[in-house]
Structure 1
Amino acid sequence: MTSPIPVRALPRTSENSLLADAGSGTRVEFRGIVKDYGATRVLHGLDLDIAPGEFVSLLGPSGCGKTTALRVLAGLEQANGGAVLLGGTDVSGVPTNRRDIGMVFQSYSLFPHLRVIDNTAFGLLRRKVAKAEALRRAGDALALVGLDHLADRFPHQLSGGQQQRVALARALVTEPRVLLLDEPLSALDAKVRVQLRDEIRRIQLRLGITTVFVTHDQEEALAVSDRIAVMNAGRIEQIGTPEELYLSPATPGVAAFVGLSSLVPGVGAGDTVRVWEWTLPIAGDAATGEVEVFVRPENVRLVAAGGVEAVVQESTFLGSFRRTLVRTTDGVLVRVQHPASERVEYDDRVRIALDLEPVSVRPHP
């Protein structure tokens, strides 16, 4: 298993009590977690060690078991086998309200009849914190997410992004040992989603709180995580830093899910694979014979001469670059990422070349 990377702490520049009381995070461990729903097994002996203060994303397609794993950690689901440890203590039999966790769901789940400040203070009041102290701490939590100026509004007076910030403040106000995020951004529009994603990461770094983030969006996971656990069919296929997963995927499944690739035919020869006129190093297990090769768009170039002939199928302008789909003379579709100044049109004849970067391969079907 890859060693956890050190958490990147940011300087504390506020008198906010949440920051002043911030600790170094809590270790989270899944040990052989098995979860069945009737005759269907959805988690197959899940093992995962999350370092104190680390931000780890559980990434995978729908039905891979990532939300179930989070719910087992939260105590909302009872595992059929294995143990969950928080700070070295087995909490498998501990109810949710005694695990000292904060959780943010996809739905905002705010009380419509309560003001923002009262929604935020709700958990503290349930814990018998004096009202004046609860409201003070709720104000600090709202300041942390930039909403203290909206404390007296009601949820229906807020945008979706603002409501999700209130949900985040409510999760943080009790100063939990662990923060759990279950696809909290998927209901938001693209621009707000990016803004709130970055805000969550900023706050997590300032607090140093151990965070587990469930998402099916690879861009979100790559942008905010210290490490990512890619899940498939109830198992972790690979865990590593965003760079490790993107540049050195351990399995074809990870290569297909993380990042964008074209599948092109090749012939494996041990640690290398021959693709058209190029010999490329293989990232992962050696291969021989006919294989399919995952080629990243940024590792394909348009060239004036040489290379492989192709015809442009479509070209998309993406601001600082273009992404163009071409069909080679032998019928292979390849995506090319190139400068926006290299403009091509449908049906243009072009030539492409491959960079000699490591690639993932899978057996030819």
Structure 2
Amino acid sequence: MNPTPLPRTADNVLLAEAGDGTRVEFRGIEKSYGSAKVLHGVDLDIAPGEFVSLLGPSGCGKTTALRVLAGLESSDGGAVLLGGRDVSRVPTNKRDMGMVFQSYSLFPHLSVIENTAFGLRRRGVRKPEARRRAADALALVGLDHLADRFPHQLSGGQQQRVALARALVTEPRVLLLDEPLSALDAKVRVQLRDEIRRIQLRLGITTLFVTHDQEEALAVSDRIAVMDAGRIDQLDTPENLYMRPATAHVASFVGLSSVVRGEAAGDHVTVWGTRIPLNAAARGVVDVHLRPENLRVVGEQEAAVAGTVEETIFLGSLRRSLVRTESGDLVRVQHDAAHRLSFGERVFLAVDPQPVAAREAD
């Protein structure tokens, strides 16, 4: 079944009145819980209308940063600015933000349209106007035909769309998304992820998205802030994060990498006799992060190293094989799906001279 098409701008109040977004700034934000410091002087500048993701493992501080922006947590130091104004001590309900959580948090006794209109009613908007604006928001997420249903009559994906409509209906200056897709199954997660991005682009609303899923972040973000232990390791476009990771942590967290030993000398590192450019200069023995697509199965004459296939996985348009090299490295190699390798097969590998990340060897 095809989703309900998004309304044209002229048909939808939200789209018709969409602005240019609001600049969001973190200036040296610090946060501790007792003796545990969670945020270490975080600086972040989000341009008006930009979609930025905070990406990192559990416990890295990404949700705490979002909650500080929302006003749900107070910072211990630094400032939060919206449109150039310091709102660090402004209460949550005065910051004009829409928020979507991992849990749908819908009222079970209210219909879909009543749930969507709830924030408007709390703001004193009269019922007919609130229902009209709620209907516009539901049309935006393709659920206007389910306006009179109750949450228990909806799928998980539909409930999260209602939560998104409820966050947008008040026309907030900033949209905050805290792991909103993690409770959904894979297919619905991808569909809703793409819908969120389309809606965000059409509204031009400044958006901060918290996720631990690198694929989600890479797919929807203008820029991604990769966090580790309360700090931003790298803030960059998805393309730069993947192709030119600034640190070994970014290389290991964004995308799939194999770690092998190499000998660094300035802006190059030598792996299996092949010189490869480094993203950051280093010297001595280092651990090098190689992407599967930067390794090729070749003939013996072109090989940098030989190895034995320990595993091969069919992924539809390609295959990914695990190879134990004669030097003892265990690496993943991405290759054409038609090139089927067998367990125990001897293969030869070459390395493409693409820039890599490395760190001092343990």
Q: Which amino acid aligns with 2:338?
A: S
Residue 361 (structure 2) pairs with residue 364 (structure 1): yes
Structure 1 ranges of 4+ moved more than 3 A: 10-14
Q: Which amino acid aligns with 1:294?
A: H
- 1:300 pairs, out of 287, 295, 302, with 295
Give yes or no for contact 2:100–2:180 (8 Å, CA) kept in 1.
yes
Q: What's the offset of the Cα at 1:277?
A: 2.1
Q: What's the offset of the Cα at 1:15?
A: 1.2
Aligned equivalents of 2:269, 2:309: Cα separation in 1: 26
Give yes or no for contact 1:11–1:206 (8 Å, CA) kept in 2.
no
Describe the shift of the 1:146–1:264 C-alpha distance in structure 2 as closer, same or farther (beyond 3 A): same
Q: What's the offset of the Cα at 1:13?
A: 4.5
Following superposition of structure 1 onto structure 2, how do residues 201-350 of structure 1 map, counting pairs within 5 Å? Answer: 201-284=197-280, 286-306=281-301, 307=303, 308-350=305-347
Residue 51 (structure 2) pairs with residue 63 (structure 1): no
Aligned equivalents of 1:178, 1:13: Cα separation in 2: 20
What is residue 3 of structure 1 aligned with on the other side?
none
Residue 150 (structure 2) pairs with residue 129 (structure 1): no
Aligned equivalents of 2:63, 2:360: Cα separation in 1: 31
Q: Which amino acid aligns with 1:292?
A: D
Aligned equivalents of 2:314, 2:112: Cα separation in 1: 42
What is residue 193 of structure 1 aligned with on the other side?
189
Structure 1, residues 158-188: CA drift from partner, whole Å, max 9, x if none?
0000000000000000000000000000000
Structure 1 residues without counterparts, runs of 5 or longer: 1-9
Q: What's the offset of the Cα at 1:323?
A: 0.5
- 1:82 pairs, out of 62, 78, 82, with 78
Structure 1, residues 210-266: CA drift from partner, whole Å, max 9, x if none?
000000001100000000001111111110100111111111111111110000111
- State how many pairs are aligned: 355
2:242 counterpart SS class: helix
Q: What's the offset of the Cα at 1:287?
A: 1.3
Describe the shift of the 1:244–1:73 C-alpha distance in structure 2 as closer, same or farther (beyond 3 A): same
What is residue 3 of structure 2 aligned with on the other side?
none
Describe the shift of the 1:153–1:12 C-alpha distance in structure 2 as closer, same or farther (beyond 3 A): closer
What is residue 117 of structure 1 aligned with on the other side?
113
Structure 1, residues 51-92: CA drift from partner, whole Å, max 9, x if none?
000000000000000000000000000111111111111111
Structure 1, residues 96-128: CA drift from partner, whole Å, max 9, x if none?
011100000000000000000000000000001
Give yes or no for contact 2:22–2:206 (8 Å, CA) kept in 1.
yes
Following superposition of structure 1 onto structure 2, how do residues 20-99 of structure 1 map, counting pairs within 5 Å? Answer: 20-99=16-95
1:230 counterpart SS class: strand
Q: Which amino acid aligns with 2:269?
A: V
Give yes or no for contact 2:25–2:44 (8 Å, CA) kept in 1.
yes
Q: Which amino acid aligns with 2:298?
A: V
Describe the shift of the 1:248–1:12 C-alpha distance in structure 2 as closer, same or farther (beyond 3 A): farther
Q: What's the offset of the Cα at 1:11?
A: 11
Q: What's the offset of the Cα at 1:270?
A: 1.1
Aligned equivalents of 1:11, 1:82: Cα separation in 2: 41
2:344 counterpart SS class: coil
Give yes or no for contact 1:320–1:339 (8 Å, CA) kept in 2.
yes
The TM-score with structure 1 as length reference comes to: 0.96
Q: Quick one: percent identity of the two aligned structures?
A: 75
Aligned equivalents of 1:12, 1:232: Cα separation in 2: 41
Q: Which amino acid aligns with 2:162?
A: V
Structure 1, residues 19-49: CA drift from partner, whole Å, max 9, x if none?
0000000000111111111111101111111
Aligned equivalents of 1:12, 1:266: Cα separation in 2: 56
Aligned equivalents of 1:288, 1:61: Cα separation in 2: 29
2:11 counterpart SS class: coil
Aligned equivalents of 1:14, 1:153: Cα separation in 2: 27
Structure 2 residues without counterparts, runs of 5 or longer: 1-5
RMSD: 1.2
Q: Which amino acid aligns with 1:250?
A: A
Aligned equivalents of 2:77, 2:63: Cα separation in 1: 17
Give yes or no for contact 1:30–1:83 (8 Å, CA) kept in 2.
yes
